[in-house]
Amino acid sequence: MRKYKYRRNKKKIGRNQRSVSLNHYVETLVVADASMVDFHQDGDIETYILTLMNMVSMLFQDPSLGNSVSIVVVKIILIEDPQSEPVLNVSTNADVTLRSFCKWQLGLNPGKDSHPHHHDVAILVTRKDICARQEAPCGTLGVAHIGGMCKASRSCSVNEDNGIMSAHTIAHELGHNFGMIHDTEKTGCKRREGNVIHIMTPNFEADTVTVNWSNCSRKDITRFLDKGLGQCLKDKPKDLDRYKYPDLPAGVMYDANYQCKLQFGKKATLCTPPDEICLHLWCSINNTCTTLLRPAAEGTYCGKHKWCKDRECVLNAGTSFSHRRRLGRLELVERMFQILWRGVSCDGKRVQSPDARLWREILRRREKEISDMQHSSLSTWGAYI
C-alpha cells in the first residue's frame, strides 16, 4: 500500500467564486479491455458499463460531496482484440498498466475542450486481477493519479471489474483524480461513521450499509476546484444523452444469479437463502457456497413485491420484478434444500440440514475468517491505491 504524506490545510482559501456554486461536468471516456469484452460476450457490455457509471454518477451527486459534479459518459471503447492496440499494455501490474493506459488515452484525446470527442478523464475497466507494484494477483482494486483531473496525461485510472460494486472502485479512483486522499486516522478523517463507509476509505468492509463522502473528501475536492484546477470541467457537453444511463437499479438490471457470475466467474450460481440475500450474497463454486460478504445490489428481487435496499428486503410499492428475475423464490428454496441435503461443503464444514441456525453458523464462521484476513492486512473488498 502506498503511503502519502499530506498535510490538510486548515486555513481558508481565498476565492473569487466558490466552486460549490458552480456546475462541473466530467466528460468521461470508458475503455473496456479484451478481458472485459470476453467475459461479457454473452451480454450487453455497454449496458453493464452504463449501469456502473450510473451508480458512480449517483455517488458524485450525493449531498455529502458538497459540490455539483456530473459524471457524463461521452465515449465508450471496447477492445475486442488486444493485438489491435499494441501500444496499450494491460497486465496484472497495476502501475505499469496505469502508465500505459494514460499514455494511450492521451493519443486519443483531441486537444480542444470544445471538440465533441474530447474527454476530461479516462477510465479503464479490466477483468484482470491487478496488483500494485508487482506482476501477481492481490487485493488491489484500482489505481489512479492523485490530483490528475484536467491534466491530460494524468487524468486516468485503472479499475478491476468484479461485479456491481466495482462502481465504488471507479468512484474512489475518480476521487483521487480530484485530489482526494484516503480517509485514515493519520490524515485526520475517519474511515466510517457507524454503518456508513466513506468512499475514500482504503478498504471497504463487510458490514457496509451505505457509503458517502467524508468531510475531508469534501474539503479536498472543494480546495481542488477553488484553486482553479478543474477548469476543463466548466463546459457543458453538447450531447448529454449520447450515452443514457439506465433508469432501473442495478439489481433489477442484473439478478442475484448473474451477480454471482460477475463476482466469481461464469460457472458461479446463486445459493443464498431467501432471507439472507440483501445482507450477503452467497454463491456456489464447484459445489461449495462462498461469499465475499457483499450484499446483493440495490433493487435485487428478494420476495414477492420486495427488493433490496440498504441491505434490507423491503416492499417495493407499485413495481413488479417477476418478469425480470431469472430464479424464482420457490426455485431458490428448492435449490437451497438440494444443496444442504447433498452435504455441500461450505468453508470446509459439512452441511447436514436445511436449518436457519446452520446458515447463521456458516455466516459467523465466514465473518470471523474475513475479520482474521483484515487483521492480517488483507481487505474484504480489496484495497485502493
Name the β-bridge partners of 171: none
Residue 253 corresponds to which cell in the numbers above? 438490471
Residue 117 labelled as part of a binding site: no
Nearest to 2 by CA among 67, 114, 98: 98
Residues found in the chain: 385
| Interaxial angle between packed helices 45-60 and 166-177, expressed in degrees from 0 to 180 and rounded to the nearest 10 | 50
Residue 173 among the catalytic residues: yes
> SS3 sequence, the chain?
CCCCCCCCCCCCCCCCCCHHHCEEEEEEEEEECHHHHHHCCCCCHHHHHHHHHHHHHHHHCCHHHCCEEEEEEEEEEECCCHHHCCCCCCCCEHHHHHHHHHHHHHCCCCCCCCCCCCCCEEEEEECCCCECCCCCCCCEEEEECCCCCCCCCCCEEEEECCCCCHHHHHHHHHHHHCCCCCCCHHHCCCCEECCEEECCCCECCCCCCEEECCHHHHHHHHHHHHCCCCHHHCCCCCCCCCCCCCCCCHHHHCCHHHHHHHHHCCCCEECCCCCCCCCCCEEEECCEEEECCCCCCCCCEEECCEEEECCEEEECCCCCCCCCCCCCHHHHHHHHHHHHHHCCEECCEECCCCCHHHHHHHHHHHHHHHHHHHHCCCCCCCEEC
d(CA 308, CA 249): 10
Which one is catalytic: 160, 173, 276, 298?
173
List the beta bridge partners of residue 158. 124, 143
Q: Which residue has the cell 464444514?
A: 349
182 in a known ligand binding site: yes
Does 145 belong to an annotated binding site?
A: no
Q: State the binding site for Zn(2+).
A: 172, 176, 182
Task: Point out the annotated binding site.
Answer: 172, 176, 182
- Residues annotated as part of the active site: 173
